[in-house]
Amino acid sequence: MDNAAGGDSGRCEVRLVLPYPPSANAYWTPSRGRGLVPSGEALAYRRL
C-alpha cells in the first residue's frame, strides 16, 4: 500500500520456496540404546 505522499511505505513482499519436510516415519530411525534418532534425510532437511 502507498502512503499519503504517494511513496512506498517501507513494506516489501518476500516469497520463500521451502522443500517439503520428511514424514514422521522417515524422520526418526530406531537406534539400539539411544531410542529414536533423526535419520540422514532428517539431518539434511534440518541443514537447509
Summarize pLDDT for 10-43 with one digit per residue, the tens.
Answer: 889 999 998 888 998 999 999 999 999 999 999 9
CB atoms within 10 A of CB 24: 8
Phi, psi of 38 (to 5 degrees): -65, 140
Q: Distance between the two ends of the chain, CA-based, in angstroms?
A: 33
Q: Decide which of 9 and 8 is more confident.
A: 9
Q: What counts of helices (H) and strands (E) characterise the chain?
A: 2, 2
- Residue tagged 530411525 (cell numbers): 29
Q: Which residue has the higher pLDDT, 24 or 5?
A: 24
- With H, G, I as helix, E, B as strand and everything else as coil, classify residue 12: coil
Q: All 3 cell numbers of residue 11? A: 513494506
Please give the pLDDT value at position 13: 93
pLDDT tier at 6 (50, 70, 90 boundaries)?
A: low
